Amino acid sequence: MTQKRRNIRIDRLAMMGPEQERVDVSFVDGVNIIWGASNAGKSFVRKAIDYVLGGEKPTVPDEGLGYDNFLLWLTLPNIGAVTLRRSVHGGEIYKAKGHLDKVHLGSDGYAALKPSHSPQSPNVSKLVLTASGFRDAKLLKNERAEKSPFSLRTLMRYVLVDETRMIDEKSVLLQHSSKVTSEDKGLIKFLLTGIDGSSVETVRSGDQLKAAREAKIELLSQMADKLREAIDENQSEDDVRDLLTVAEQERDDLYTVLAGRQDELDNLAAEVKSRNLEIRTQESRIADLGAMMLRFDELARVYASDVERLSGLEEGGFLLQKFAKMNCPVCGAVPDYQDHDHGLADVEKQRVAVEAEIEKILKEHRDLKAAIQTALREVENRNTEIETLVEDKSSYEILLSAAKELEMGTRGIFASASKKVSKLKSLLEDRRLLASYDAERAKQSTQSIRSRQRAEGLDLNLDLTSNEANELSKVIKQVLTQWNYPGADAVHFSSTDQDIVVDGKRRRDNGAGIRAILHSAFKVAILVYCAEKGRPHPGFLILDAPLLAYRPAEDTRYGELDDDEIALRDADLAGHFYRHLHSLGGSAQFIVIENHKSDQAVVAPFPNIQFTRNANTGRQGFFV
Please tell me the predicted confidence (pLDDT) of residue 13: 98
**Whole-angstrom Cα distance, residue 134 to residue 138?**
12
The CB density around residue 158, as the number of other CB atoms within 10 Å, is 21
- For residues 323 and 88, which has the higher predicted lDDT (pLDDT)? 88
Instruction: For residue 587, give the nearest of 521, 542, 534 by alpha carbon.
Output: 534
**Whole-angstrom Cα distance, residue 178 to residue 184?**
11
Please tell me the predicted confidence (pLDDT) of residue 406: 85
Query: Which residues have a Cβ under 8 Å from the Cβ of 69 and sit 6 or more positions away?
Result: 15, 16, 17, 85, 86, 87, 88
Q: Which domains does the chain have, with CATH numbers?
A: 9-202+458-611 (3.40.50.300), 237-446 (1.10.287)
Please tell me the predicted confidence (pLDDT) of residue 334: 65
Query: Which residues have a Cβ under 8 Å from the Cβ of 529 and sit 6 or more positions away?
Result: 192, 471, 472, 475, 535
Question: What are the b/e assignments for 138-152, b being 16+ CB within 10 Å?
Answer: bbbbbebbbbeebbb
Helix, strand or coil for residue 456?
A: coil
Q: How confident is the model at residue 523 (pLDDT cuts 50, 70, 90)?
A: very high
Q: How confident is the model at residue 322 (pLDDT cuts 50, 70, 90)?
A: low
Q: What is the greatest pairwise CA distance in the chain?
A: 191
8 secondary structure, DSSP code: -
Decide if 186 contacts 433 (C-beta within 8 A): no
Lowest-confidence segment of 156-165, 261-270, 443-452 by average pLDDT: 443-452
Task: Give pLDDT tens digits for 36-80.
Answer: 888 889 999 999 999 999 999 999 999 999 999 999 999 999 899
Please tell me the predicted confidence (pLDDT) of residue 147: 76
User: Average pLDDT of the chain?
Assistant: 84
Residues above pLDDT 70, as percent of the chain? 85
- For residues 9 and 322, which has the higher predicted lDDT (pLDDT)? 9
Q: How confident is the model at residue 598 (pLDDT cuts 50, 70, 90)?
A: low
Strands 505-506 and 499-502, how do they pair?
antiparallel
Instruction: For residue 197, give the nearest of 181, 209, 208 by alpha carbon.
Output: 181
The CB density around residue 261, as the number of other CB atoms within 10 Å, is 19
How far is C-alpha 222 from the geometric centre of its chain's CA atoms? Answer: 37
Mean pLDDT value of segment 540-546: 95
Whole-model pTM: value is 0.65
State which H helix or E strand residue 429 sits in: helix 344-446
Query: Which residues have a Cβ under 8 Å from the Cβ of 508 and sit 6 or more positions away?
Result: 169, 170, 497, 499, 515
Q: Is the pLDDT of residue 552 over 50?
A: no
Percent helix, strand, coil in the chain, to 5, is 55, 15, 30
Decide if 428 contacts 235 (C-beta within 8 A): no
